[in-house]
């Protein structure tokens, strides 16, 4: 039951990364794909109807962590208090930028909020990446399971590397989405930028994967299948290039999503059964069995959440299907 809870949580975070990932990516890379305010407006309206629903996955995953693993929720958010407040403020700033931009027809107003939007999106991606990097590497925990390290500890080269990798990977994800949703100059530029970014993704992927293997080699014994995961990851990454080169936008977007999904699977597999692995790795960490609710409470939460999410997926697909269609950016 605890493992099922872990799987559900990983699934919800995965959905968040795949969905909000593309709108974060579209924004972070927008300085390279758009030149005029009208083009930026087209890029924004490509994500306008969806970003809020995508972000709800983060809120829902936060709630699920709270209900399923209260101890980990309490330890993580109080332990990383200040970095977490930074994430909250960036999320708020980003939401404001997207909502406020179109209320005035004034070029300076647009430029200000567009820049705020791009910068906060890029910063969020890097921060999420750094957070994931630290989860993979482990963090110092005291006896009660609370973070006992320093801020500087979190900014280690490995975690920062994962942050930069996240920026490339989600930029690519955003680019594939942009070519799918928008026509005209931004899409043409996106294709060009994407064929370059792809190489950065590949390079960063290889470096991070090797570093992760070195870092966790001694502590992940339970899952030999992890060693084979780079195969589907590389296949998916190859497929991104293959479809993008042939102008099959939908294929490229799906391949990029598959690439991200395989990465998250690898991350979840590396962490399991810990929610907050300790550093150094032999110290264990806060696992899914630590102070978890009773099996019946977990079962209730799982059932209620899964039933609700099925409905969410159904109406997300239904509305997204009706709201699809290309947005034309002016030539």
Partner 1 sequence: MGTAVIADRLQFAFTIMFHYLFPIGTMGLAPFIAWFNIKAYRGRDPEAASAARFWTKVFAVNFAAGVVTGIPMEFQFGMNWAPFAARSGAVIGQPLVMEGVYAFFLESIFLGVLLYGRRQVSERIYVLSSVLVCLGSWLSGFFIVATDAWMQHPVGYAVAAGGRIELRSLAAVLLSPFAWWQYAHVLTGALVAGGFIVAGVGSYYLLAHRDESFGRRFVRAGTMVAFVFSAIAIFPTGDLNGADVTRYQPVKLAAMEGLFASQRGAPLAILGMPDTARETLIDPVFVPDALSFLAYGNVAANVKGLSSYARTLWPPVALTYYAYHVMVGLGTIFVSLAALALLWLLRRKLFGARWLLWMLMLAMPFPYVANEAGWVTTEVGRQPWIAYGLMKTADAASQNVAAGETIFTLIGFAGMYFAIGVLFLLLTLREIGAGPAEAPL
Q: Which CB atom, from 136 or from 286, has the smaller least distance to partner 1?
A: 286
Residue pair 44/181 in contact by the 8 Å Cβ criterion: no
4 lies in the site for partner 1, by CB under 8 A:
no
Measured from the CB atom, is 70 or 247 closer to partner 1?
70
Q: What are the beta bridge partners of residue 139?
A: 278
CB 218 within 8 A of CB 138: no
Q: Least distance in Å: CB of 192 to partner 1?
A: 28
> Which window, 42-50, 184-192, 223-231, 259-267, contacts partner 1 (CB under 8 A)?
42-50
Quick check: 48 binds partner 1 (CB under 8 A)?
yes
Per CB under 8 A, 147 contacts partner 1: yes
* Out of 4, 31, 77, 156, the residue judged to bind partner 1 by CB under 8 A: 77
CA dist list (Å): 331 to 129, 146, 249, 270? 36, 55, 20, 47
Residues 6+ away with beta carbon under 8 Å from 10 = 264, 265, 268
The nearer residue to partner 1, 149 or 251, going by C-beta atoms, is 149
What is the rounded CA–CA span in Å between residue 141 and residue 148? 5
Stretch that binds partner 1, among 178-186, 195-203, 247-255, 294-302 (CB under 8 A): 294-302
**Residue 99 near partner 1 by CB under 8 A:** yes
* Contacts to partner 1 from residues 305-324, by CB under 8 A: 305, 308-309, 312, 315-316, 319, 322-323
Find the farthest-apart pair of alpha carbons in the chain and give their distance in angstroms, rounded. 61
Determine if 152 is a binding residue for partner 1 (CB under 8 A): no
By CB under 8 A, name the one of 103, 105, 143, 282 that touches partner 1: 103
Upstream peptide bond of 273 is cis (omega within 30 degrees of 0): yes
Report whether the peptide linkage leading into residue 6 is cis, meaning its omega lies within 30 degrees of zero. no
φ, ψ for residue 275 (rounded to 5)?
-95, -30
Q: Is there binding between residue 84 and partner 1 (CB under 8 A)?
A: yes
- Examine residue 106 and tell whether it contacts partner 1 (CB under 8 A): no
Q: Does 66 bind partner 1 (CB under 8 A)?
A: yes
């Amino acid at each position: 039951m605890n493992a099922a809870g872990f799987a559900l949580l990983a699934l919800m975070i995965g959905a968040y990364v795949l969905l909000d990932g593309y709108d974060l990516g579209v924004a972070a890379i927008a300085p390279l794909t758009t030149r005029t305010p009208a083009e930026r407006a087209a890029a924004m309206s490509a994500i306008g109807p969806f970003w809020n629903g995508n972000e709800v996955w983060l809120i829902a995953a936060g709630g699920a962590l709270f209900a399923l693993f209260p101890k980990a929720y309490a330890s993580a958010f109080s332990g990383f208090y200040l970095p977490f407040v930074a994430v909250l403020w960036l999320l708020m700033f980003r939401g404001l930028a997207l909502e406020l931009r179109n209320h005035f027809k004034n070029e300076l107003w647009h430029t200000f909020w567009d820049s705020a939007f791009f910068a906060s999106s890029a910063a969020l991606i890097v921060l999420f990446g750094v957070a994931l990097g630290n989860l993979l590497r482990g963090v110092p925990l005291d006896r009660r399971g609370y973070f006992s390290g320093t801020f500087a500890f979190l900014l280690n080269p490995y975690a920062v590397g994962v942050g930069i990798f996240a920026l490339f990977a989600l930029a690519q994800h955003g680019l594939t989405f942009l070519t799918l949703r928008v026509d005209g100059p931004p899409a043409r530029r996106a294709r060009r930028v994407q064929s370059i970014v792809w190489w950065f993704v590949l390079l960063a992927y290889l470096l991070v994967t090797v570093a992760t293997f070195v870092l966790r080699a001694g502590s992940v014994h339970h899952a030999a299948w992890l060693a084979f995961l780079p195969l589907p990851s590389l296949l998916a990454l190859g497929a991104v290039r293959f479809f993008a080169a042939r102008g099959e936008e939908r294929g490229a977007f799906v391949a990029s999503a598959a690439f991200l999904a395989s990465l998250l699977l690898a991350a979840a597999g590396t962490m399991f059964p810990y929610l907050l692995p300790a550093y150094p790795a032999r110290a264990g960490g806060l696992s899914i069995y630590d102070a978890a609710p009773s099996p019946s409470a977990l079962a209730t939460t799982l059932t209620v959440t899964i039933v609700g999410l099925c409905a969410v997926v159904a109406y997300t697909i239904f509305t997204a299907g009706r709201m699809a269609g290309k947005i034309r950016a002016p030539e």
